Structure 1
Amino acid sequence: MRLNILFSLLYILFFITSCNQERSKIQTEKDFISIVDRDTSRLHLVLYKDRFHGKIINTKPGGYIVKGEINGKIVGDTLEGDNLYTPFKWANQKRAPIVLLKKGENYLLGNGILSIHLGIPHFMPGSINFDNPKHTYLPVQK
């Protein structure tokens, strides 16, 4: 009986420590903002060693707000992933590819040729460019 309790406690302790390890691997958690004409885009990023996730909120004139959850992988200085967002006044979510290039402390929103494979949109290999980014995200000073 005592042996079962001991193994149960060890299992629970192992489970708790393994859950907390992921939080300690966070490299950076930052907020960014981009203002282009009357459009404002806010970006919250949580970066790990080779993965990222976060939120993106686009605000346009007339109270038009689009909120999305982003996640993906980090390849060098580029963040490649998905943006799962709900269009303004829609009930269903949509998925779009997102690619960000780190340039100094800023992030540039890239674009490319959109392709859909097995129902998942992505940019065609070699078509991604950052020459004329729609948004340049600047860090928010807290």
Structure 2
Amino acid sequence: MKIAPSILSADFAELKTEVKRVENAPYLHIDIMDGQFVDNLTFGPNVVKALRPHSSQVFDCHLMVINSEKYIKAFAQAGADIIGVHIEATAHIHRVLSQIKQAGVKAEVVINPGTPVAAIKEVLPLVDQVLVMTVDPG
């Protein structure tokens, strides 16, 4: 199990400084929310791109978005090392995970607390890691 600080709790006016404060953590968790899959709206690939030159950490971009396939290329190009997608947010989980791998980054499948672990059994060979949410997203 790995624990990663999330920039969602950072002071956004001091984002670069906040990222540097946790530079000893191997991962930086970046929650991406679209206002549709979850009510909140957060960061886009431009924030990842802006932070990438200031950190050597693994950027774990957790996409809490509908139609995540639309965003894979942009986040990969922005500097994501891992892209996580919710099985509940796409009808084409195999395709999305394949897109992530084709973009040259690690693939992560994410499940909500109420989703049975058995729901991801078929895609486990396609992923580098699994994120099991302990709270409902958003």
Same fold (TM over 0.5): no
Q: Computing the radius of gyration over CA atoms, which structure comes out larger, 1 or 2?
A: 1
Please give the range of the TM-score, normalised by the shorter of the 2 chains.
under 0.3
Higher relative contact order (CA 8 A, sep 6+): 2
Compare the two structures and name the one with the higher helix fraction.
2
Relative to its length, the structure with more strand (as a share) is 1
Q: TM-score, normalised by structure 1?
A: 0.27
